[in-house]
Amino acid sequence: MSNKIRLGILGGGGDSLIGVLHRIASSMHDKYQIVGGVFNPVWEENIGFAEKISLPTNRIYKDFDTLVEEELKLPVEERMQIVSILTPNFLHFPMAKKLLENGFNVICEKPMTTTYEEAKILNATLKKSKTIFAITYTYTGYPMVRQMREMILNGELGNIQRVDAQYYQGWINPVIHDKEQRANTWRLDPKKGGISCCIGDIGTHAFDMLEYVSGLKIESILADLNYLYPDNKMDIDGTVLLRCSNDVRGVICTSQIATGEENSFIVKIYGDKAGLKWEQENPNFLYLMEDGQPLRVLKPGHSYNSQLSLDGSKLPPGHPEGIFDSMGNIYKGIAKAINNEPYNHGEFPTIIDGVRGMGFIEKAVESHQKGNVWVEIENVD
């Protein structure tokens, strides 16, 4: 009998890229075995996909409720230990909630819910269930992001005095200028995507990343969002001024109309001793800047890195790893938690990250709608 963690999957069938990402990530460290799930609401597609990826089909269920019902009938040592939710956003909340209430551990894609209210409810649910809940802010799994976090926690930058995140994409550009396309893209439809497109989709990554690496809390924000067309309901670009704990200031610049940008997520943290810079499209380079010193470029796998970072690279320096490896690291951390092994809190994002992210989205929209004024981000625990 395998001692791998029994993993169920919700969604992620067909051509889903997020499905590929989670399946590969889960398999990377020999820690998980996919035992079943619901890949698709249409039964033929669901079972067909399971066959296509050569899964045993006995635990492919017709729908989510059946999955919960049937799995609960199984003895606990056979039952799914954790379920990954990769479904459309509006399903995250009800699925996660029911799973938690029934004692399952959960891995949830972002955004965690469609509203901040739901996020807080989920947090309350988790407190009762005492299971494990992880949200996949994938970029936090990169070894050099982890190194950034550890260096800052260890005081290598001194007191932080400026934080700066840029997340620029261009993919909405060809969509937004066509009236029909912008009316029919789900990302721009509040019914499907919530109240925000750009801030919700990528701004939250920036928000989470700044808190992850700096150890600061973002306490209040002032947002200026851009919708470009009056008939467009969702922001597709925005700048957010930040006030963080310890009176640190900063900014998040996001855009999905930065034409020609692919996935340009750049993070810069400056302290009174040194600064650090990281770019997602070149994730294996971390730039350390000090007054009057040569720029230093840190790379994964070197012994000068922290244990948290080293734990996130599999090969010696000079062998580039990428985003699949980053997600694999997050799954690896979750496995440690499931298996009651010691782990570093930087190994995977938790529900608090998810709740704060939802708070950020709503507050950014609120700040904008009130005329670009400061609004507070609630504290959550």
Residue numbers 225-284 binding a copy of itself by CB under 8 A: 226, 228, 237, 239, 241, 249-251, 253, 255, 257-264, 268, 270-275, 280-284
CB 100 within 8 A of CB 133: yes
Q: Which positions from 111 through 170 interact with a copy of itself, judged by CB under 8 A?
A: 157, 161-162, 164, 166, 168-170
Collapsed DSSP state (helix, strand, coil) of residue 206: helix
Cβ 147 to a copy of itself, closest distance in Å? 11
165-224 residues in contact with a copy of itself (CB under 8 A) are 166, 168-170, 173-174, 177, 222, 224
Query: Based on CB atoms, which residue is closest to a copy of itself, 119 or 244?
Result: 244
258, 247 contact by CB (below 8 A):
no
Nearest to 73 by CA among 128, 26, 36, 48: 36
In degrees, rounded to 5, the angle at the alpha carbon of residue 66 between the alpha carbons of residues 65 and 67 is 90
Decide if residue 16 touches a copy of itself (CB under 8 A). no
CB atoms near residue 246 (< 10 Å):
12
**95 vs 367: CA distance, rounded Å:** 30
Q: CB of residue 224 vs a copy of itself: minimum separation in angstroms?
A: 5
For a copy of itself, the closer CB: 44 or 247: 247
DSSP 3-state of 368: helix
The answer to whether 274 and 290 have CB atoms below 8 angstroms apart is yes
Number of residues that bind a copy of itself (CB under 8 A): 89
**Residue 110 binds a copy of itself, judged by CB under 8 A:** no
Q: Rounded to the nearest whole angstrom, what is the least distance from the CB of residue 245 to a copy of itself in the complex?
A: 15
User: Six-digit token pair at 370?
Assistant: 């009130």
52-81 positions binding a copy of itself, by CB under 8 A: 52-54, 56
333 binds a copy of itself (CB under 8 A): no
Least separation in angstroms between CB 129 and a copy of itself: 27
Q: Which region holds residue 81: left if phi is over 0, alpha if psi is between -120 and 50, else beta? A: alpha
Listed as own residue / partner, the contacts of 76-80 with beta carbons closer than 8 Å and 24 or more positions apart are: 78/6, 79/6, 80/6, 80/7, 80/8, 80/35, 80/36, 80/104
What gap in Å lies between CA 49 and CA 55, rounded to an integer?
A: 9
Q: How far is the CB of 361 from a copy of itself (least distance, A)?
A: 19
The reply to whether 318 sits near a copy of itself by the rule CB under 8 A is yes
- Is the CB of 33 or the CB of 344 nearer to a copy of itself? 33
Shortest Cβ 315–a copy of itself spacing (Å):
6
- x/- letters, 345..364, toward a copy of itself (CB under 8 A): --------------------
**Nearest residue to 112 via CA among 353, 318, 275, 345:** 353
- Contact at 8 Å (CB) between 377 and 359? yes
Residue 28 or 124: the one with the smaller Cβ distance to a copy of itself is 28
Does residue 28 belong to the site contacting a copy of itself (CB under 8 A)? yes
Stretch binding a copy of itself (CB under 8 A), from 8-16, 68-76, 96-104, 316-324: 316-324
Residue 297 is which amino acid?
V
Any contact of residue 376 with a copy of itself (CB under 8 A)? no
Q: Which is nearer to a copy of itself, 2 or 379 (CB)?
A: 2
Q: Cβ 298 to a copy of itself, closest distance in Å?
A: 5
